[in-house]
Structure 1
Amino acid sequence: MTRTGAFGAEVAAFQVILRTWLQLMQSVRDRLVDVPREPLHEAEHRAYVAEAMDHHVSYFLAKSILALRDPAVALCPPRLSLLAKALLWIGGWQPTAALRLVPAGALSAEQASSLEAIRAVTRAAVAAVEKEMRRVQNDGLVRFMLAGRAAASAAAVAAAEKAAIGRMVARQWSVSVVADSLRMEVLRRVVALLSPLQAVDFLADVVRMEISMHQM
């Protein structure tokens, strides 16, 4: 299969994964929004929170498998609007954006303190991921420019350039996986500090944000 053909197949595969996941998340959002809020329904709150978290784990796993073949598909999902693309952070929502969805006014002093600690850890992790992506891009460009200098033929130049691109793609995949892992870790940490009902409200807002990015 040609490069163009392979890329087209991967785009199509990602669109199927994304479309299926968004349909699932729309159903999850509806359940999170409509669940009875009385304490006696705490078991339902916990069940819907677990369902939303499981869907995120499955999506990030499927995305990482597809990105292994071509990170560009996952780093910039197809058919996003220009506005949505401008809001992307390494293929998805910025982890600190999710933290802004936590209803601060409803938190206890202990929860608020824990949330601030999560914010600090997340900001540091975001900075580290961004630094690594810049390093990958800069190193990839330099390696590509230098790839053919010692080559003895046009074929050798092409092979060296292909190898340089391959190394950069592999490193981009690693960064994209780390970015999704950070997104998932933020969800886990926030859900862990919230009550079941607070977690329901938080995840409902996260899902709304995710869906809206693909409807802009």
Structure 2
Amino acid sequence: MTNFAAFYTAWSDQLQQLLRQLCSAPNPPTTQDHLHLLIHLVDKLLSHYSEYYRVKAAAAERDVLDIFAAPWASSFEKSLHWIAGWRPTTVFHLVYTESSILFESHIVDILRGVRTGDLGDLSPTQFRRVSELQCETVKEENAITDELSEWQHSVSDLMGASGDVDEMIGRLVPVVRKADELRLRTVKRVVELLSPQQAVEFLIAAAELQLGIREWGMDQDRR
């Protein structure tokens, strides 16, 4: 087991603990203390994600091919990877899906003018800003994908007598870094567009999806 694999296992266990804290927090908040607790938990989870990408960046500097191979991930997880991790635009599909589910569950209240304050109650301004961010993220995703494609097209140079293998592989490091920076930045910017209540619901859904995919994938690999 590599150092990053050991870190990832411990990090995932801590994510599970943070998820339990999020799920047990009063939501919607009924007091100012509850509101402060939600904000604290949101910041705590974002810091946890930031730590993951900090350690991953260092691991990529040591062995970027190991990061791409991701031996710590299940086969199912790796089948969903885009440049050594999840695709940033997945965040928007998650927001829209959770919003739709909650909207349908509260549609009677919403039609009566009762505001739920959850993800099913996103304002027109929030929807517009999420849509704008999605468009920006798609453009950045495509640019990074093009950068990886250029690297892949130049791999034939590795077979030449003058090909510098280490230099060629090293060019993958900034590609992974840009992809990870986009992943983290996308989550943070979506959270900024949400209320504390909505942010908690979004982060719960994101963590449950990540942990659920990991658990199901590992179970399939064991079988």
Task: List alignment gaps of at least 5 residues for structure 2.
Answer: 100-119, 218-223
Tell me the CA shift for residue 81 of structure 1. Answer: 2.6
Distance 2:67 2:214 in 1: 14
Which secondary structure state, in structure 2, belongs to the residue aligned with residue 78 of structure 1? Answer: coil
- 1:124 corresponds, among 139, 163, 180, to 139
Matched, 1:144 2:158: yes
Match of 2:38 in 1: 45
Task: List alignment gaps of at least 5 residues for structure 1.
Answer: 1-10, 149-159
Alpha-carbon displacement from aligned partner over 1:52-91 (angstroms, at most 9, x marks no partner) = 0001111101001011111122223114332221111111
Distance 1:212 1:68 in 2: 29
Equivalent pair of 1:70/1:169 in contact (CA under 8 Å): no
Moved more, 21-30 or 102-111: 102-111
Which secondary structure state, in structure 1, belongs to the residue aligned with residue 84 of structure 2? Answer: coil
Equivalent pair of 1:93/1:210 in contact (CA under 8 Å): no
Match of 1:109 in 2: 124
Distance 1:186 1:212 in 2: 21
Match of 1:30 in 2: 20
Equivalent pair of 1:137/1:168 in contact (CA under 8 Å): no
Match of 1:207 in 2: 207
Amino acid at match of 2:83: I
Listed as ranges, the matches of 1:54-133 within 5 Å are 54-102=47-95, 103-104=98-99, 105-133=120-148
User: Structure 1 residue runs of 4+, over 3 Å off?
Assistant: none
Tell me the CA shift for residue 142 of structure 1. Answer: 2.6
What TM-score does the superposition give when structure 1 sets the normalisation length? 0.84
The structure-2 alpha-carbon separation of the partners of 1:100 and 1:207, relative to structure 1 and needing over 3 Å to count, comes to: same
Which secondary structure state, in structure 2, belongs to the residue aligned with residue 182 of structure 1? Answer: helix
Alpha-carbon displacement from aligned partner over 1:105-158 (angstroms, at most 9, x marks no partner) = 32101000000001100111111111101111222x132122x1xxxxxxxxxx
Which secondary structure state, in structure 2, belongs to the residue aligned with residue 101 of structure 1? Answer: helix
Match of 2:181 in 1: 181
Alpha-carbon displacement from aligned partner over 1:162-200 (angstroms, at most 9, x marks no partner) = xx2212221111111111100011011100000001001
Equivalent pair of 1:71/1:172 in contact (CA under 8 Å): yes
Q: How many residues align?
A: 191
Amino acid at match of 2:76: L
Match of 1:151 in 2: none
What TM-score does the superposition give when structure 2 sets the normalisation length? 0.81
Name the Cα RMSD after superposition.
1.4
Distance 2:69 2:122 in 1: 35
